[in-house]
Amino acid sequence: MTWRSPLALVRDALQGQRAREKELRSLTSNLPHEGQGRGTQPNRFFSSNAIKTTKYSLLFFIPMNLFEQFHRLANIYFVGLAILNFIPVVNAFQPEVALIPICVILSLTALKDAWEDFRRYQSDRRVNNMPCFIYSRKQKRFVERRWKDVRVGDFVKVVCNEIVPADLLLLYSSEPNGVCHIETANLDGETNLKQRTVVSGVCTTDRGFEPESFNSTVVCEKPNNNLNHFKCFVEKPNKEKLGAGIESLLLRGCTVRNTGHAVGFVVYAGHETKSMLNNGGSRSKRSKLERKLNIDVFFCVILLFTMCLVGSVGHYMWLESRTGSPPYLLPDSRSNSLASFHMFFTMIILLQILIPISLYLSIELVKIGQIFFIVNDIDLYDEETDSCMQCRALNITEDLGQIDYVFSDKTGTLTENKMVFRRCTIMGTEFPHKENAIRLAVLDEPESEEEIIFNQRPHSSQTAWSFEGEDAGPMDMHRRGQKKSKVVGTARSDVAFSSPLETEVVPDQNLVRQISRAESRGGSQRTDPYLDFFLALTICNTVVVSRATARRQRAGLSPCSSQTNNSFEALSDLVKKASLLIQRKSSRFRAQSQGPVIDSVRMESPADTNGLSPSVRPTAPAGSENLYYEAESPDEAALVHAARAYGFVLLARTPKNVSVRLPSGQVLDFEVLDVLTFDSNRKRMSVLVRHPITKECVLYTKGADFAIMELLGTPYAENLSKSHKNIASDTQRHLDGYAKEGFRTLCIAKKVVSEDEYRRWLVSRKSAQAAIEQKEQLIMDTAVQMETNLTLLGATGIEDRLQENVPDTTVALREAGIHVWVLTGDKLETAVNIGYACRLLEDEDLLISMSCKNKVTCTSSLDCNLEEMRRYSENPQNVGTIPNISLVIDGHTLAMVLSPDLQDRFVDLAKRCRTVLCCRMTPLQKSAVVKLVRDKLKVMTLAVGDGANDVNMIQAADVGVGISGQEGMQAVMASDFAISRFKHLKKLLLVHGHWCYTRLANMIIYFFYKNVAYVNLLFWYQFFCGFTGTAMIDYWLMIFFNLFFTSTPPIMFGIFDKDVSAEVLLGVPELYRTGQGKGEYNFLTFWISILDAFYQSLVGFFIPYWVYKDSDVDIFTFGTPLNTISLFTMLLHLSIEIKSWTVVHWIIMLGSVGLYFGVTLAYSAICVNCNPPSNAYWVLQSQMGDPMFYLVCTISTLVALLPRYTFHVLKNSISPSPLLQGRELDRMDPSTRDQWIREWRGFRGGGGGQVKRYQLSPPPSPTQETPVDFRPEFLNSAEATSDDFSLNVTTQRPVYT
């Protein structure tokens, strides 16, 4: 380092600050300045690529960590006390001694932090030292360096399968078209390939990229954390500006796939990269239990102050009563009142452990243990995706045991988000596909054996095509990958798009006949609505055709470029690559820019860059059966598969070309003129193609029914003129039927565009694409412009299948006293049907359907329903029962009822309903509903969802659960817990939630008890020592007692105790209710345990007191039995509370006793004069030689515990709690247990009220396989009351197939 004047340094720092803060940054190449001093580097102000995520540095660890820890109020309190102890007039202990507890706590926490930080440091170092290639001007080539050497303005080369070291502006790719594929799994968990393109116009030569010739300036925006947005332009020396966006940015942390190599210009490095800016810290929430706990800590503070006040006043009175000058009273210049005032503080120091110092640390440790067990639960592990449960929030495990309301998303959460083609209607004729329904029914039969041949990466997709109105969020995420599994019999392991469930469609014979008739009439020469319908299904999508081999290669680590001679392989791979051009999210940015190039010849291009390794490629015969379809949305794939079942096979898709094989075997190559991509405003997409035979421009459109129906122009004129009027209405009728069955509906339409019209349109289209301002709006306008006068072909019904065990889970949750609400963007009918399917709604339920046009009707309907409800509940006949009433409300109405004047009424109505379905919800409304219920009803809410549209709601709820399913990772990122299937919620809540809650609740109660009981011993002693703050127990032993002897058992209790087994908790969901509302940790239990502590301390003090009264006992000899008694009392008290003793329990309990005696004996033997004024030398030894010691300890412990023990015994015998009954069930052998559960629940269900009329089969258990009976049953009360609900009440019958 050369010396630089401080002034220059300051100036530099200021400049740097300015440069970093500027909205736009101008970056130039570093190469001209290579090897020169730092001061001349043009980009020196921007952060380097070395990252540091550690919180602390080695030098400043202690101060920084202490600073961090003192953010916790409790720590400040204890440090304050320790400092107080240094003031001579008030000190209670030797000043140093008082520091021990806080030091131990602080150092344990610091140790934990240090370890975590060290792990971060190691990971940083590993990352910083990863190799990469940076261009060096001196060596005229890319040289290997470390990640940390990368600077802004460098040129970095990344090769296939390498991780991108910094945010690179892509300037060159070895692939044709300047494409580079990246996988962003490291950033967002999406495993599909995303495509990036080079900044056009920068690299003009064919000979590869020459960094030295790069003399442009890159102007980019200030770093931000938006992964999907980037603004930048490259300014050439000739002032030409080339725009670039996110499509040209390789993000740090992504992996380059399927691309030989690429060269990029570093725009952001290190902490300024988007991935680092996205790296938020872990979430920190405060659980309900902890909020309550803090109140009780406050009570403890009051208790402490009261006790100290008693001590202070007592001391004053004691001093006043001292006449003369007794020899034991030290001369004191202070007045009695001042001395008593000081005594108050001495008492605080003496009795400080009343505020449980180690409680917070213990809770943290317990939660770590609990999370360990949750994460390691094999039942929450999903084989398919190879994913465990994730706990992202570390401190709200016990909230899982207190949930009152569950808000669930529908698509992807309750359902698989895997679409199965079920029915279609063409030209007003319905084809019910009965055979297909039968096939699916067969697949539904539960069968235990399943066989997964091999697993690959999870393959999923996104519902860009869903018409749920949920697409407002950044839904342009999707995953691709592949997983192929052979599934025998069950729907369980079907994975996206490749399972027989979805891919195989049994054709409807009628339809097959229609098609063959149509073909025979003229084949592809003429247009026929049936053929058109299927052509539309095949063409009008963005499905990518690929092959298993190609995808496996991508998942693996095969070399990226190699030659292949197999033309078919080459073709399909090329096709795949080309098709990537228009796929997915990028389609929004780019698809339009693909100008029409006329080339309807099948591609026979040499396959020199297809990236397939011969070693990987099997020599499988090339056939259409090897085709795999990868789609943005599962709906599209389902449609393509359906078309394929009828012989319309999508063979290949490129941006410019689609090949379709017709049933006759003829292959048609459609030239793609344009793709009008889907957006959530239009709710439809279109593809404009040129028919290879008729040479007509044809527009195929598919979309939501309401989006299509209003655009219909002339009906299909040619063949069916006589009934054309009815087509639309027939189709609409069929669509309504589909919706009732819970299918997702799509309308398919067509339009033949005349050449003139097309040309005219093309002009406006091009100008829209060229536009800079409001480009997206203009492009959308052109799409709308084209999509007019459509001809309706037909419609399809696609079933989004329920995830496995969803009905079972929702029923269990309901029985557990949890209200399950579904918040969906779907249509009302679909939502209702899903509601029936997952048993949220029962057959006999009354359904209040609120769908109002304006606020007035909304208000009146709300009032009316509410009135009926009130009348119902006031009716003496119905006391104690909750009517099975469900509310269905749509987003529009919801917006009205959420207004401040109506929301109270809405909440009042909703809380009387068993379930509420909200449809057509926007993400914001979802969170609004969650917040409303949470705040108005003061209940614990849980939101579960899988998509970006659920993020708001997940964050709004007390507990957010993300489903790491088909729609990317945003929901998971925002969640507190991430599961892979909805059914896991059952075990997560009913078992782990219950366990975590009862464990922690009992542990905290015990902790308070323990501290109060111990402190009271000291307090009672004050009455016999003139309130002078004497402790009869050696200070060290006192501190050890809390820190070591009695601290592990409650932690173990909090981690391992199991009040009821998982089987019983799952079998009897009602047990979950013990945790809801106030739960086990409430005002009463807290104060009972405090009273018990008082009682026990009285016993533990006064029995020895009476025994040793008037004897020659000395202080510490007196204190030793007290200490021992409280140890045994506390441990045995815990033993009464421990519900199941495993070997861990025994070890820790006996270990604690052993530790107590071991340490105390050792301490009493070693410490002769080590810490005056205590004098524990040989005290325990002498006591242990005295039979009285044992006699005193035995009786005191017994008397102390007798009430609690007796209470437990009597309560368990006279009125056993549900949990105890659950425990009784545990002891039975499985078959009798199931018998019992059934009988017990039958009893409870009949008499208990809340789970009224529960007539499901018993919960699933290993020994039972009773089929579920779905027959509707009407019960009297439902029918009797249904008449009263005249307004807006419909009684729905389920439609089950």
Partner 1 sequence: MVRIKKESPDRPDNTAFTQQRLPAWQPILSAGIVIPGFVLIGLAFIGVGVGLFITSRDIQVLEIDYTGTDQTSDCNKCTNPNTKNCVCTLSFNIDTLFKGPVFFYYGLTNYFQNHRRYGVSRDYKQLYGDLANFKDPSTDCAPYRLDSRNNPIVPCGSVANSLFNDTFKLYQIVNGQRNVVPFDGKGIAWWTDYNVKFKNPDVTPLQNAFNGTVKPLFWTKAVYELDFSDPSNNGFINQDFLVWMRRAALPNFRKLYRRIAEENYTNGLPAGNYSLEISYNYPVLSFNGRKKVVFSNVSWMGGKNDFLGIAYLVIGSLCVVMSVVMLIVYAKFKFPEDD
Residues 1144-1163 that bind partner 1 (CB under 8 A): 1144
Q: Which stretch binds partner 1 (CB under 8 A): 351-359, 535-543, 607-615, 1196-1204?
A: 1196-1204
In the region spanning residues 318 to 347, those forming contacts with partner 1, defined by CB under 8 A, are 322-331, 346
In the region spanning residues 160 to 179, those forming contacts with partner 1, defined by CB under 8 A, are 163
CB 65, CB 113: distance < 8 Å = yes
Q: How far is the CB of 51 from partner 1 (least distance, A)?
A: 8
Query: Phi, psi (5° rounding) for residue 814?
Result: -65, -45
In the region spanning residues 1206 to 1225, those forming contacts with partner 1, defined by CB under 8 A, are 1206, 1208-1210, 1212-1214, 1216, 1220, 1223-1224
Distance spanning both ends of the chain, measured CA to CA: 79
d(Cα 1176, Cα 1180) in Å, to the nearest integer?
8
Compare residues 339 and 1005 and give the one whose CB is closer to partner 1: 339
d(Cα 1149, Cα 1157) in Å, to the nearest integer?
13
* Interface with partner 1 (CB under 8 A), residue from 65, 340, 387, 514: 387
Question: Which runs of consecutive H residues, i.e. helices, occur in 842-938?
Answer: 855-874, 891-897, 900-912, 923-937
Tokens of 793: 């072909």
Q: Which segments are annotated as binding site?
A: 409-411, 636, 678, 702, 744, 824-826, 920, 926, 946, 949-950
Compare residues 620 and 1209 and give the one whose CB is closer to partner 1: 1209
Among 464, 500, 417, smallest CA distance to 798 is for: 417
Compare residues 89 and 295 and give the one whose CB is closer to partner 1: 89
Q: Which segments are annotated as binding site for ATP?
A: 409-411, 636, 678, 702, 744, 824-826, 920, 926, 949-950
d(Cα 405, Cα 840) in Å, to the nearest integer?
13
d(Cα 995, Cα 982) in Å, to the nearest integer?
20
Q: Which stretch binds partner 1 (CB under 8 A): 384-392, 513-521, 543-551, 645-653?
A: 384-392
In the region spanning residues 973 to 1002, those forming contacts with partner 1, defined by CB under 8 A, are none
CB 841, CB 807: distance < 8 Å = no
Check the CA dihedral 64-69-75-77 and report its sign: positive
Q: How far is the CB of 646 from partner 1 (least distance, A)?
A: 39
Show the site string, 117-146: x = touches partner 1 by CB under 8 A, - = not. ------x--xx--x----------------
In the region spanning residues 768 to 807, those forming contacts with partner 1, defined by CB under 8 A, are none
- Residues near partner 1 (CB under 8 A), total: 100
Q: How far is the CB of 50 from partner 1 (least distance, A)?
A: 13
In Å, what is the CA distance from 908 to each residue of 777, 867, 911, 937? 43, 11, 5, 9
388 binds partner 1 (CB under 8 A): yes
Q: Which stretch binds partner 1 (CB under 8 A): 261-269, 317-325, 480-488, 573-581?
A: 317-325
CB 1259, CB 991: distance < 8 Å = no
Compare residues 1094 and 1108 and give the one whose CB is closer to partner 1: 1108
Q: Which stretch binds partner 1 (CB under 8 A): 32-40, 202-210, 368-376, 1034-1042?
A: 368-376
Q: How far is the CB of 456 from partner 1 (least distance, A)?
A: 12
Compare residues 368 and 1113 and give the one whose CB is closer to partner 1: 1113
758 binds partner 1 (CB under 8 A): no
Residue appearing with tokens 């729905």: 1292
Q: How far is the CB of 1175 from partner 1 (least distance, A)?
A: 8
CB 203, CB 226: distance < 8 Å = no
Cis peptide preceding 1173, ω within 30 of 0: yes
CB 218, CB 132: distance < 8 Å = no
* Interface with partner 1 (CB under 8 A), residue from 66, 100, 864, 1195: 1195
* Interface with partner 1 (CB under 8 A), residue from 579, 1028, 1126, 1160: 1028
Q: Which segments are annotated as binding site for Mg(2+)?
A: 409, 411, 946, 950
1192 binds partner 1 (CB under 8 A): yes
Q: How far is the CB of 277 from partner 1 (least distance, A)?
A: 12
Compare residues 68 and 1224 and give the one whose CB is closer to partner 1: 1224
d(Cα 507, Cα 640) in Å, to the nearest integer?
13
Compare residues 849 and 1016 and give the one whose CB is closer to partner 1: 1016
* Interface with partner 1 (CB under 8 A), residue from 1143, 1271, 1276, 1283: 1143
Compare residues 241 and 334 and give the one whose CB is closer to partner 1: 334
Query: Phi, psi (5° rounding) for residue 689?
Result: -125, 160
* Interface with partner 1 (CB under 8 A), residue from 178, 611, 883, 1026: 1026
Among 904, 898, 901, smallest CA distance to 927 is for: 898
Using DSSP's 3-state secondary structure scheme, residue 1291 falls into: coil
* Interface with partner 1 (CB under 8 A), residue from 35, 1187, 1247, 1262: 1187
* Interface with partner 1 (CB under 8 A), residue from 898, 1226, 1244, 1253: 1226
In the region spanning residues 183 to 242, those forming contacts with partner 1, defined by CB under 8 A, are 186
369 binds partner 1 (CB under 8 A): no
For 566-588, the three-class secondary structure string (H helix, E strand, C coil) is CHHHHHHHHHHHHHHCCCCCHHH
Q: What length does the chain have?
A: 1297
Catalytic residue ranges: 409
For 483-550, the three-class secondary structure string (H helix, E strand, C coil) is CCCCCCCCCCCCCCCCCHHHHCCCCCHHHHHHHHHHHHHHHHHCCCHHHHHHHHHHHCCCCEEEEHHH
CB 971, CB 475: distance < 8 Å = no
For 33-86, the three-class secondary structure string (H helix, E strand, C coil) is HCCCCHHHCCCCCCCCCCCCCCCCCCCCHHHHHHHHHCCCHHHHHHHHHHHHCC
In the region spanning residues 276 to 305, those forming contacts with partner 1, defined by CB under 8 A, are 276, 279
Show the site string, 23-62: x = touches partner 1 by CB under 8 A, - = not. ----------------------------x-x---------
Q: Which stretch binds partner 1 (CB under 8 A): 272-280, 703-711, 805-813, 944-952?
A: 272-280
In the region spanning residues 1079 to 1138, those forming contacts with partner 1, defined by CB under 8 A, are 1103, 1105-1115, 1117-1119, 1136
Written as one letter, the residue type at 793 is L
Compare residues 784 and 1228 and give the one whose CB is closer to partner 1: 1228
In the region spanning residues 442 to 481, those forming contacts with partner 1, defined by CB under 8 A, are none
Compare residues 53 and 69 and give the one whose CB is closer to partner 1: 53
| Max CA distance (Å), the chain | 128
In the region spanning residues 68 to 97, those forming contacts with partner 1, defined by CB under 8 A, are 92
Compare residues 3 and 328 and give the one whose CB is closer to partner 1: 328
d(Cα 689, Cα 699) in Å, to the nearest integer?
6
Q: How far is the CB of 388 from partner 1 (least distance, A)?
A: 5
Q: How many CB atoms lie within 10 A of CB 1043?
A: 17
